[in-house]
């Protein structure tokens, strides 16, 4: 009898331990032996599959590719637990090892490299050099407005025509980023590939500064400023900022600022063309706050909550960085679940997009702070102020002078972020629109 009781007790204890272990495991789809969930995934629609699993398994779930585990987080509360509260803030801040980061960036940029002794210094340096506050913000405003004036003049020339706006939007974005980073504009119709080609020849160009750059030293751009840091030594007397850090940061800014802004502006144009009622409300606010005599200014953002909310709503809807991967440096727990060492994590916001009560909230509404559109913690985007300022100036300047309309020969489909072209940064599929002038200002 004693032996039987002992066996029963052992079985109960074992069952309790097994139940407790399983209860702490993160839910998710069951994969096949050896390959995991590979057969369930399609790289072209991976963000859609993650959304489907989100609906099925909740705010936090996991899947596997071969022996590699991936945890997907869809809750802003869980994200804050992971990225703002220590010790998880440090544990979750690493990046998984990637071929692209290792051989293209040499693990020396900000976006793809993991933390090292100089990573925090490099991020603070980028914040400083972006000059997104005080006098730097005013200079930024002047640069953007010069490019916006050229864009409005170009739109006036094709007024009433059904056109794909991608080319002119790409020119505007590349011109703005070129001015920020290089100090001047290098030409039209270059596109992203053209920008990368400019970077290849930038060393010779900047080392032989011409009159156009020397006459405006305050607008020489981030590159010139960052290059001076190459000569600085740290407290140990060693050079801490290397050539690979410089180029990694420059290429990251070009790529990130260009692709994310392109996706956002193209999405806004599609939405505006399909929603003339929303467009009219935005124009009414712009007319009341700014009028038609002067150009919009960054300071107007505080008085234009609907315009600001539209920008944030677009960013929330498109969630255009579907696979912002992080790597867990050591085993930890999150939201009561155990997470193993070297697990990769991804942050998704498609669930939040489906909550009607969160739509069209003013920018100051507490709900807005839960969206984390530019990330949170150590990996938050250093260009947030620059991005929001540029998007506000673009939208308010455009709608101050033009209506955005559907093409004459067909109706646009409803804007659906799930139909965006996949990639590191999601992009809307090509479409055509028309611009109609509201007031003669240009």
* Domain boundaries along the sequence of the chain: 106-320+361-437
What are the beta bridge partners of residue 36? 32, 65
Q: Is 304 annotated as a binding residue?
A: no
What does the pLDDT read at residue 323? 62
Average model confidence (pLDDT) for the chain? Answer: 77
Say if residue 134's pLDDT is above 90: no
Measure Cα distances from 372 to 55, 353, 381, 384 in Å. Answer: 20, 12, 10, 11
Please give the pLDDT value at position 116. 73
Selection from 139, 165, 437 nearest residue 173 by Cα:
165
Quick one: pLDDT at residue 210?
A: 37
Q: Is 336 helix (H, G, I), strand (E, B) or coil?
A: coil
CA gap 310, 268 in Å, rounded: 8
- Per-residue pLDDT at 296: 96
Average pLDDT over residues 140-166: 93
- What was the pLDDT predicted at 381? 61
Residue 369 has pLDDT above 50, yes or no: no
Q: Which is it for the CA torsion 422, 424, 428, 429, positive or negative? A: negative
What pLDDT shows up at residue 243? 86
Q: What is the pLDDT of residue 358?
A: 45
At a CB cut-off of 8 Å and minimum separation 6, what does 403 contact?
276, 279, 283, 435, 436, 437, 438
Contacts of 307 (CB under 8 A, 6+ apart): 282, 285, 286, 301, 392, 395, 396
Does the pLDDT of residue 242 top 90, yes or no? no
- Residue 352 and residue 76 in contact, taking contact as beta carbons nearer than 8 Å: yes
| pLDDT exceeds 80 at position 16 | no
- What average pLDDT does range 293-308 have in this prediction? 94
In this prediction, residue 305 has a pLDDT band, given cuts at 50, 70 and 90, of: very high
Alpha carbon 107 to chain centroid, angstroms:
20
Residue 84's pLDDT band (boundaries 50, 70, 90)? confident
154 token code pair:
């170009």
Percent of the chain's residues with pLDDT above 90: 26
Q: What's residue 207's pLDDT?
A: 39
155 or 174: which leads in pLDDT: 155
Give the pLDDT mean for 328-345.
Answer: 85
Write the pLDDT tens digit of every residue in 211-232.
333 334 445 678 888 888 888 8
Residues 382-404 have a mean pLDDT of: 88
pLDDT of 356 reads 46
Tell whether the model's pLDDT for residue 25 goes beyond 60.
yes
Q: What is the DSSP string of 98-137?
A: -HHHHHTSTT-SSSSSPP-TTHHHHHHHHHHHHT-STHHH
Three-point CA angle 241, 245, 251, nearest 5°? 150
Q: Is the pLDDT score of 430 beyond 70?
A: yes
Residue with tokens 């498609």: 350
Q: What is the pLDDT of residue 372?
A: 45
State residue 63's pLDDT score: 92
- Looking at the DSSP bridge assignments, the partners of residue 61 are 72
**Is residue 355's pLDDT more than 50?**
no
pLDDT in tens, 56-65: 998 889 998 8
Q: Which residue has the higher pLDDT, 165 or 203?
A: 165
What whole-number percentage of the chain has pLDDT above 70? 72
Which two three-digit tokens encode residue 47?
């963000």
Which pLDDT score, from 0 to 100, does residue 286 have? Answer: 97
* pLDDT for the residue numbered 299: 92
Query: What per-residue confidence (pLDDT) applies to 196?
Result: 54
Task: Domain 106-320+361-437: give its CATH superfamily.
Answer: Cytochrome P450 (1.10.630.10)
396 or 141, which is more confident? 396
pLDDT of residue 413: 92
Mean pLDDT within 24-35:
86
Classify residue 409 by its DSSP letter: S
Within a 10 A sphere around the Cβ of 378, how many other Cβ atoms? 16
344-347 and 337-339 as β-strands: parallel, antiparallel, unpaired? unpaired
Tokens of 184: 């001047």
* pLDDT interval class at 205 (50, 70, 90): very low
The pLDDT-based confidence of 177 (bands split at 50, 70, 90) is confident
Tokens of 339: 């997470």
d(CA 301, CA 392): 7
**68-73 sheet: strands from edge to edge:** 60-65, 68-73, 344-347, 326-327
Model confidence at 375: pLDDT above 60: no
Position 17 confidence tier, pLDDT thresholds 50, 70, 90: very low
The pLDDT value given to residue 368: 45
């Amino acid at each position: 009898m004693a032996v039987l009781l002992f066996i029963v007790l052992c079985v109960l204890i074992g069952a309790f331990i097994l139940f407790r272990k399983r209860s702490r495991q993160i839910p998710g789809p069951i994969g096949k032996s050896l390959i995991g969930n590979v057969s369930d995934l399609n790289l072209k629609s991976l963000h859609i599959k993650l959304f489907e699993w989100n609906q099925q398994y909740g705010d936090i779930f996991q899947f596997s590719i071969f022996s590699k585990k991936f945890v997907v987080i869809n809750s802003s509360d869980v994200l804050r637990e992971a990225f703002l509260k220590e010790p998880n803030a440090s544990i979750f801040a690493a990046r998984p090892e990637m071929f692209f980061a290792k051989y293209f960036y040499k693990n020396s940029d900000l976006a793809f490299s993991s933390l090292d002794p100089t990573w925090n210094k490099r991020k603070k340096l980028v914040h400083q050099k972006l000059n997104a506050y005080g006098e730097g913000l005013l200079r930024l405003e002047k640069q953007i407005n010069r490019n916006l004036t050229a864009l409005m003049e170009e739109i006036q020339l094709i007024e009433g025509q059904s056109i794909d706006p991608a080319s002119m939007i790409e020119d505007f974005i590349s011109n703005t980023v070129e001015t920020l980073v290089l100090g001047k504009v290098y030409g039209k119709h270059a596109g992203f590939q053209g920008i990368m080609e400019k970077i290849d020849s930038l060393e010779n160009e900047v080392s032989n500064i011409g009159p156009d750059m020397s006459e405006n030293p305050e607008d020489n751009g981030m590159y010139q400023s960052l290059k001076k840091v190459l000569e600085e030594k740290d407290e140990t007397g060693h050079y801490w900022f290397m050539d690979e850090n410089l180029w990694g940061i420059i290429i990251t800014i070009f790529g990130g600022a260009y692709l994310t802004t392109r996706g956002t502006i193209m999405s806004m144009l599609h939405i505006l063309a399909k929603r003339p009622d929303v467009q009219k409300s935005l124009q009414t606010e712009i007319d009341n706050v700014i009028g038609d005599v002067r150009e919009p200014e960054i300071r107007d953002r505080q008085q234009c909550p609907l315009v600001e909310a539209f920008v944030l709503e677009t960013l929330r809807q498109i969630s255009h960085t579907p696979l912002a991967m992080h790597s867990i440096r050591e085993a930890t727990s999150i939201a009561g679940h155990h997470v193993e060492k070297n697990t990769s994590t991804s942050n998704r916001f498609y669930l939040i997009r489906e909550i009607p009560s969160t739509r069209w909230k003013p920018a100051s509404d507490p709900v807005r702070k839960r969206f984390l559109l530019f990330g949170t913690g150590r990996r938050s985007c250093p260009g947030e102020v620059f991005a929001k300022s540029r998007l506000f100036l673009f939208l308010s300047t455009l709608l101050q002078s033009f209506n955005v309309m559907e093409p004459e020969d067909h109706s646009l489909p409803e804007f659906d972020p799930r139909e965006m072209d996949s990639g590191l940064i999601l992009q809307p599929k090509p479409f055509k629109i028309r611009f109609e002038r509201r007031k003669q200002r240009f």
